[in-house]
Amino acid sequence: MTVLLEARNIGKRFGGVQALKDVSLTIRRGEIYGLIGPNGAGKTTFFNVLTGLYPRDAGTVILAGAPLALGEPHRVTQAGIARTFQNIRLFANMSARENVMVGRHARSKVGVGGAVLRSRTQREEEAAIRRRADELLAYVGLLERADALAKNLAYGDQRRLEIARALATEPQLLALDEPAAGMNATETAALRGLIEGLRRDGLTVLLIEHDVKLVMGLCDRVAVLDYGEKIAEDVPAAVRQDARVIEAYLGGSLE
């Protein structure tokens, strides 16, 4: 398997707190890569640095062989990393379809002139955006709710809509920040099916998750963060046996 993303020595400090320290990890094309760790370990910080929301203090990220310009989220998205948010961030007063259509922004280009004149290019592009949005809504199973406002969707549907919106940006890497947070067992099972489907379709997924069972069952490889440092990176079965991981989670060794 080829390497899709390589993060080298990522560092991030908030005032006196070293939130990330020398974090390096490698994600291979086509795998589901889990990032776990106790509360406050720096998982979401890593996500925000990776997707450009926070400027980083140190380190580089290589995506598909090219260095990633961090610090400008829209350029990270254009380069091929899409994300969802821990606390869902949809465009509440737009319909489900429009939410996904916004995701096509980076992959379309007609500007003000084309829009005002309704040029042929504009109409064709608009139709293509709409078609793709409907395909993605169907993919996550929300097509019949396409015209509902995002804020009126059920919780699980909102999570899936956010994934559809992220997919609309044609990512090489899909980064999901605690997608199962707040979900009941049925919804989590449906989500699991969706993520497995993504892997089958060749997408690479980076998954932050609290639900250890979900991570261990779903991921090809898992990295564990603790106090901003990577303490383990391996296949789930090996990580589960790792003494440092057990210590981080249980606050002491098991002897």
Whichever of 51 and 204 has its CB closer to another protein, that residue is 51
Least distance in Å: CB of 181 to another protein? 17
Q: Which residues pair with 35 in a beta bridge?
A: 208, 223
Contact between 102 and another protein per CB under 8 A: yes
Q: How far is the CB of 215 from another protein (least distance, A)?
A: 23
Confirm or reject binding of residue 91 to another protein (CB under 8 A). Answer: yes
The gap from C-alpha 76 to its chain's centroid, in whole angstroms, comes to: 12
Of 1-9, 92-100, 138-146, 244-252, the window that binds another protein (rule: CB under 8 A) is 92-100
Q: Which is nearer to another protein, 33 or 85 (CB)?
A: 85
Torsions phi, psi for 73 (to 5 deg): -55, -40
Question: With binding defined as CB under 8 A, does residue 181 bind another protein?
Answer: no
Can you tell me the distance from the alpha carbon of 137 to that of 102, in angstroms, rounded to the nearest whole number? Answer: 13
**Residues in region 38-67 near another protein by CB under 8 A:** 51-53
Encoding tokens for residue 219? 């991921």
83 binds another protein (CB under 8 A): yes
Near another protein in 136-165, by CB under 8 A: 148-149, 152, 165
Q: Give the count of beta carbons closer than 10 Å to the beta carbon of residue 239.
A: 24
Instruction: Report if residue 26 touches another protein, rule: CB under 8 A.
Output: no
Piece of 121-129, 136-144, 186-194, 236-244 that binds another protein (CB under 8 A): 121-129
- How many Å apart are CA 243 and CA 231, to the nearest integer? 10
Of 45 and 77, CB closest to another protein = 77
Determine if 98 is a binding residue for another protein (CB under 8 A): yes
Q: How far is the CB of 38 from another protein (least distance, A)?
A: 25
Q: Rounded to an integer, what distance in angstroms lies between the CA atom of residue 77 and that of residue 83?
A: 8
Report if residue 103 touches another protein, rule: CB under 8 A.
yes
Nearer to another protein, 142 or 248 (CB): 142
Q: By C-beta, is 91 or 249 nearer to another protein?
A: 91
Site for another protein contains 172 (CB under 8 A): no
Summarize as ranges the residues that interact with another protein (CB under 8 A): 51-53, 73-74, 77-78, 82-83, 85, 89-95, 98, 101-108, 110-112, 114-116, 118, 122, 125-126, 129, 148-149, 152, 165-166, 168-169
